[in-house]
Chains A and B, each alone.
Chain A
Amino acid sequence: MSIFRSEPMKLRSWSPKAASLTWRLYDIQLTTYAILLVLFGLAMAYSNSVGATHTTLSPGSPFVRYLMWTVIAMVVFLVTTMFDYRWLRTFAWPIYLVNVALLVVTLRLGSSTGNAGTSARWIVVAGFGVQFSELAKILMIIVFAGFLATRQAKINSVWTVIGAIIVLGPPWILVMLQPDLGTSLVLVGTLVGMLFMSGASLRWLGTLAMSVAAAIPLVWANLLHPYQRARLLALLNQGQDPRGSGYQLLQAKTAVNAGGPWGVGLTNGTVRMPAQETDFVWGVLAEELGFFGSMVVMVLFVALLWRLLVCSWRSGDQFAMLVGCGLASMILFQVFVNVGMVIGLMPITGIPLPFITYGGASLVSVMGGLGVLQSTNLRRERPAW
């Protein structure tokens, strides 16, 4: 099928440019915002390590592990920055296959996580639990960017939308089988954002949205696990079931309430929440740093998204632009759903808050993605303005 045609390799276009990298094209703001967000993440990990039990830091505590992951993420960030992003475009399809293979491995070997039911989301690598579904989010951005860039000429065709869905299919199903509703939603959200930004036909996107809406009852009845349904229902009946699924919501809202305008101070939070190191970390942040602290973090996210859009706008080619837009879509989607979940605007799904959530794979993936974007900055053809 022609829609899956790979970009032919052209040696000339690969000529290494590292020697004359234009470092003034490096987006220092983007990196700054990312690092500030990581610092907030470290603060939350510290609070969750020390505040909960008021014990001293131990080598296995979230803080220490988060610190180790930060180091790894920074290395990955530097490496991806140096790496010529055009190789990624060339190897988009092998990357896709590797991604699918990793998800299959996760499904076969993964161990269960915390929240509900049997699930296979984690692979233990050298003592670290790694969620390859986090990596899949970034890899799929690269795959989608590669795919949509090749479709550039026929971007308005319905086959662009259909092709994208077919590409999404295998990893999406593998993620759903884990089962990981959160990641599968992020994949869909990212793809929708990228399709939109690539200039795909709004008519077909609208048609797609409506067919998804029509499919919801079927998915509800057949694909969702009981715990997932319970979580969605709990959103609709908050406070009905203070010890069941509604409990998580109540606790999170109570924590946010308890924060007040100025917060109770780092490590002083008292409201215990389920998964408060990971998916519900926003609750801890809101309680301890209060409304103003939360807004600082929120503004940092907005600034980061703004820089992502700016980088995309300036980028020299379609692939680079789409990587930037994909990252922006993914981060926006995750921030909105995660924070919305904690404050009761969205149902409970296992979606991490980028940078802040204590989760190594998530941090490394996002930093890797930002590194790719910086790589496009360094290698763009001409200044945008």
Chain B
Amino acid sequence: MSVRIEQPSVTIRNAYRFGSFGLAIIVAVAALGARMFDLQVMQGQQGTQVSQEQSSETTSVPSSRGLIYDSTNKLLVTNIPNFIIQIVPHDLPMADKPVVVQRLASLLKVDPVTIDQDLDSATGSFYDPVVVATNVDTDVARIVDENRDSLPGVQVLSRPLRQYTSGPLFGEILGYTAPITSEPSAADKQAGYSVGDIDGKAGLELEYESLLRGTYGQQTVALDANGQPIPGLTTEITQPVPGSSLTLSISSKEQALAQKALAWGLAAAHVQMGVIIVENPQNGEILAMVSLPGYDDNIFAQGLSQADYLKMLNDPTLPLINKAVSEQYAPGSTYKLVTGTAGLEDKKITATSTLLSQPYVIIAGEKFKEWNNLGWGPLNIIMGLAHSSDTFFYQLAQSVGLDSLTYWAKQYGFGAPTGVDLPNEAAGIVPDDQWKTVALGSKMYPGEEAQAGIGQGYDAATPLQLLNAYCALANGGNLWKPHVVASVTAPDGTVTPVQPELIRNLGASPQNLETMRLGTRAVVTSRHTYNLVELPIAVAGKTGTAEYGVKDRLGRLPYHEWFVGYTNADPHNADFSGTSSQLAVLVFTYGADTWGDVSTEIVKYYMWLHYNLRGNALNQRTAGHINTWAFKRTNFAGTANNH
């Protein structure tokens, strides 16, 4: 039985209105259907390609940059997570800009004004992203990324930072990276570089850029209406291949010892610039290389203001330049190696024949003085080197002639980059007629030829060239290509050791080289280097003083000081007729107008540290007082340098 509803149940079923509604349905669906017909049947299949282009873009997937280890596998360079935040102005509607900037600023905890300034000062296309924050924490980056719907145009990118764990210790060797800021060159584009990519700018980061970078992958990213990648809609085309890792031939310990010795010497002598390089003469491996003043690579990794960068760039002490390879200086008396070898090889002299050293010699009507204004009487080549007699080598240079000097200089590697695996290597200058004609428009004068024989005048060499030449002497005549990277480890773990590369054999007779080595030992034993001989180990080497620049009011020129020395494999073996040396050290101090030979003292301190000579009586007495100890013993009033 049915229940009747009390209320008068007059359902007003208005047939006209039902009809109208039905008509509305038909009209609406007909309109949609007609439009669909038009779009799909009449214009069907059009524009499919266009949409593909608009809705996706191919982006590169950064590869993980290779790491760098020291010779003891201590990590020197690593990647740490870091994010940057950028805004694509086009994707940020003008009306939303204040809100978005405010919101982003509060997330980043910065003043919104700075973001506004970044945006307003950006030049270039509306589609070019403007970086508004670097070094963003993972947490903050995550929050910004999660809120990207309310932050139109804002992008969060992962940009791992390079971290240089040893700070400034390996500064110029490792170098630094920086993001590419302007449109890369066609060649770089071909190699897969685009704006924002990390690119090595100095040191090994630059030299080994392609190995460290690896290969960037490629992916196709579907974009939403805001030009933002749609999560989950990425298609990988190629996978990124991580970069290779480098292992240096330098150990942190050795580098630290060298740095300590150099820093001590520069501070004690109030000298600003200096270089120390340690090399293994047997294979060209660099064991330490410090150029002071240097810089901490991390300041570049963390972003350096333009002002700070310009300040470093214009600093007269060249902190940004690896002075061991990129700067060239007159080699001074160290260059007598070339002249002596040339003389012996040309048979102008023998190991025992003598030349008369005298207060001065006259060449082409000009007086060329002995450095002590006296001379030592007749000297053979060994003693000529030992006293570093200028007049001896003026005469020798005159007799061998410019061609032979040039030939032997080039045999020793002067005048050409050594090929070390560091960027921006200077070539040095070996002055000959051809060079001078090109550079200065006239041939070499006889006086200049004599100057060239003692490493003055136009001669110029990088510290590394000079050390490498002495390494060739120490190892019996093989000029090795120096290198700082000992091995390269591919991402799959394959280790490729860097093979020693012989540039050339000097072509000098072993006897003559032995004579020259005895000469370098005589430099030390004759006390030309003062108390270096007091070390309980046997060192051979050669000092150098090179004048440069402008004379002061007393007519004196400022000068650099060099010392390049080496030891036998058994450091206590004082017989340098052998070729066993595994350690050669060069120290260069720039503008070392000081009493005593700073460079020699630095080498001495380095040797003391390297061979751990702490147990020795001499050093026990002076431990902790190395500063005063060194210079009291080298104070030599009258002649401040020892050639």
A112 and B36 contact, CB distance less than 8 A: no
Assembly CA distance A118 to B151 (angstroms)? 9
A301 and B46 contact, CB distance less than 8 A: no
Closest to A319 in B: B11
Given contacts A258-B51, A272-B230, contact A17 B3 (CB under 8 A): yes
The yes or no answer to B267 lying at the interface (CB within 8 A) is no
B6 and A12 contact, CB distance less than 8 A: yes
Please tell me which one of the listed residues B9, B12, B48, B233 contacts residue A199 in the complex, with CB atoms under 8 A apart: B12
A317 and B9 contact, CB distance less than 8 A: yes
Q: What chain A residues lie within 8 Å of B224 (beta carbons)?
A: 274
Q: What chain A residues lie within 8 Å of B20 (beta carbons)?
A: 196
Q: 14 A–B contact pairs at CB < 8 A? A: A17-B3, A52-B232, A53-B232, A112-B149, A117-B96, A198-B12, A227-B93, A244-B93, A257-B46, A261-B44, A270-B52, A273-B55, A318-B12, A332-B24
Given contacts A15-B3, A291-B36, A313-B18, contact A254 B93 (CB under 8 A): no
B54 and A242 contact, CB distance less than 8 A: yes
The yes or no answer to A316 lying at the interface (CB within 8 A) is yes
Q: What chain B residues lie within 8 Å of A127 (beta carbons)?
A: none
Interface string of A246-272 (1 = CB under 8 A from B): 011011011111111100000000111
CB proximity to B under 8 Å, residues A139-186: 152, 155
A336 and B32 contact, CB distance less than 8 A: yes
B445 to chain A, nearest CB (A): 71
Assembly CA distance A271 to B56 (angstroms)? 9
Q: What chain A residues lie within 8 Å of B25 (beta carbons)?
A: 302, 305-306, 328, 332
A301 and B40 contact, CB distance less than 8 A: no
CB proximity to B under 8 Å, residues A1-39: 7, 10, 12-13, 15, 17
The yes or no answer to A71 lying at the interface (CB within 8 A) is no
Q: What chain B residues lie within 8 Å of A286 (beta carbons)?
A: 36, 39-40
Q: What chain A residues lie within 8 Å of B6 (beta carbons)?
A: 10, 12-13
Given contacts A243-B91, A271-B48, contact A118 B150 (CB under 8 A): yes
The yes or no answer to B569 lying at the interface (CB within 8 A) is no
Assembly CA distance A244 to B152 (angstroms)? 11
Q: What chain A residues lie within 8 Å of B29 (beta carbons)?
A: 298, 301-302, 335
A73 to chain B, nearest CB (A): 24
The yes or no answer to A219 lying at the interface (CB within 8 A) is no
Given contacts A295-B33, A298-B29, contact A274 B225 (CB under 8 A): yes
B54 and A321 contact, CB distance less than 8 A: no
The yes or no answer to B21 lying at the interface (CB within 8 A) is yes
CB proximity to B under 8 Å, residues A54-107: none
Q: What chain B residues lie within 8 Å of A257 (beta carbons)?
A: 39-40, 43-48
Q: What chain B residues lie within 8 Å of A250 (beta carbons)?
A: 51, 54
Please tell me which one of the listed residues B12, B26, B47 contacts residue A258 in the complex, with CB atoms under 8 A apart: B47
The yes or no answer to B637 lying at the interface (CB within 8 A) is no
A316 and B36 contact, CB distance less than 8 A: no
The yes or no answer to B550 lying at the interface (CB within 8 A) is no
Please tell me which one of the listed residues B11, B36, B91, B149 contacts residue A343 in the complex, with CB atoms under 8 A apart: B36
Q: What chain B residues lie within 8 Å of A10 (beta carbons)?
A: 6
Interface string of B96-136 (1 = CB under 8 A from A): 10000000000000000000000000000000000000000
The yes or no answer to B13 lying at the interface (CB within 8 A) is yes
A343 and B21 contact, CB distance less than 8 A: no
B54 and A199 contact, CB distance less than 8 A: no
Q: How large is the interface on B (under 10, 10 to 19, 20 to 34, 35 or more residues)?
A: 35 or more
Assembly CA distance A198 to B222 (angstroms)? 48
Given contacts A197-B18, A305-B25, contact A272 B233 (CB under 8 A): yes
Q: What chain A residues lie within 8 Å of B185 (beta carbons)?
A: none
Interface string of A181-194 (1 = CB under 8 A from B): 00000000000010
Assembly CA distance A198 to B12 (angstroms)? 7
Given contacts A112-B149, A316-B11, contact A258 B41 (CB under 8 A): no
List chain B positions with a Cβ less than 8 A from chain A: 2-7, 9-14, 17-18, 20-22, 24-26, 28-29, 31-33, 35-37, 39-41, 43-48, 50-52, 54-56, 90-91, 93, 95-96, 149-150, 152, 222-225, 227, 230, 232-233
Q: What chain B residues lie within 8 Å of A345 (beta carbons)?
A: 31-32, 35
Closest to A7 in B: B7
B150 to chain A, nearest CB (A): 5
B186 to chain A, nearest CB (A): 27
Assembly CA distance A7 to B7 (angstroms)? 10
B36 and A258 contact, CB distance less than 8 A: no
B236 to chain A, nearest CB (A): 11
Closest to B3 in A: A15
A270 to chain B, nearest CB (A): 7
B90 and A261 contact, CB distance less than 8 A: no
Q: What chain A residues lie within 8 Å of B28 (beta carbons)?
A: 332, 335-336
Closest 7 CB pairs of A and B: A254-B51, A260-B44, A291-B40, A226-B95, A272-B55, A272-B222, A258-B48
B13 and A321 contact, CB distance less than 8 A: yes
Closest to B6 in A: A10
B227 to chain A, nearest CB (A): 5
Given contacts A226-B95, A259-B40, A302-B25, contact A117 B54 (CB under 8 A): no
Assembly CA distance A382 to B28 (angstroms)? 33
Please tell me which one of the listed residues A245, A251, A259, A294 contacts residue B55 in the complex, with CB atoms under 8 A apart: A251
B18 and A152 contact, CB distance less than 8 A: no
Given contacts A274-B224, A298-B29, A336-B32, contact A196 B91 (CB under 8 A): no
Given contacts A242-B54, A257-B44, A260-B45, contact A226 B96 (CB under 8 A): yes
Closest to B32 in A: A339
B10 and A254 contact, CB distance less than 8 A: no
Q: What chain A residues lie within 8 Å of B233 (beta carbons)?
A: 52-53, 272
Assembly CA distance A378 to B36 (angstroms)? 38
Assembly CA distance A325 to B55 (angstroms)? 41
Closest to A246 in B: B225
B448 to chain A, nearest CB (A): 68
CB proximity to B under 8 Å, residues A279-305: 286, 290-291, 294-295, 298, 301-302, 305
Please tell me which one of the listed residues B2, B32, B37, B41 contacts residue A381 in the complex, with CB atoms under 8 A apart: B2
Best-surrounded residue of A198, A329, A339 (most CB of chain B within 10 A): A339
Q: What chain A residues lie within 8 Å of B56 (beta carbons)?
A: 272
The yes or no answer to A212 lying at the interface (CB within 8 A) is no
Please tell me which one of the listed residues A114, A243, A258 contacts residue B54 in the complex, with CB atoms under 8 A apart: A243
B341 to chain A, nearest CB (A): 71
B101 to chain A, nearest CB (A): 15
Best-surrounded residue of A316, A336, A382 (most CB of chain B within 10 A): A336
A243 and B47 contact, CB distance less than 8 A: no
Please tell me which one of the listed residues B11, B37, B230 contacts residue A315 in the complex, with CB atoms under 8 A apart: B11
A270 and B14 contact, CB distance less than 8 A: no
The yes or no answer to A116 lying at the interface (CB within 8 A) is yes
Assembly CA distance A197 to B33 (angstroms)? 25
B90 and A112 contact, CB distance less than 8 A: no
Assembly CA distance A167 to B191 (angstroms)? 67
Q: What chain A residues lie within 8 Å of B9 (beta carbons)?
A: 316-318, 381
Closest to B4 in A: A381
Q: What chain B residues lie within 8 Å of A317 (beta carbons)?
A: 5, 9, 11
Assembly CA distance A128 to B370 (angstroms)? 95
Q: What chain A residues lie within 8 Å of B21 (beta carbons)?
A: 193, 196-197, 309, 325, 328-329
B54 and A247 contact, CB distance less than 8 A: yes
Assembly CA distance A70 to B487 (angstroms)? 63
Q: What chain A residues lie within 8 Å of B5 (beta carbons)?
A: 13, 317, 381
Assembly CA distance A301 to B32 (angstroms)? 12
Assembly CA distance A254 to B36 (angstroms)? 12
Q: What chain B residues lie within 8 Å of A198 (beta carbons)?
A: 12
Please tell me which one of the listed residues B12, B24, B36, B55 contacts residue A271 in the complex, with CB atoms under 8 A apart: B55
Best-surrounded residue of A53, A257, A298 (most CB of chain B within 10 A): A257
B18 and A254 contact, CB distance less than 8 A: no
B93 and A226 contact, CB distance less than 8 A: yes
Closest to B37 in A: A291
B88 to chain A, nearest CB (A): 10
The yes or no answer to A211 lying at the interface (CB within 8 A) is no
The yes or no answer to A232 lying at the interface (CB within 8 A) is no
Please tell me which one of the listed residues A152, A256, A270 contacts residue B36 in the complex, with CB atoms under 8 A apart: A256
Given contacts A260-B44, A332-B24, contact A243 B3 (CB under 8 A): no
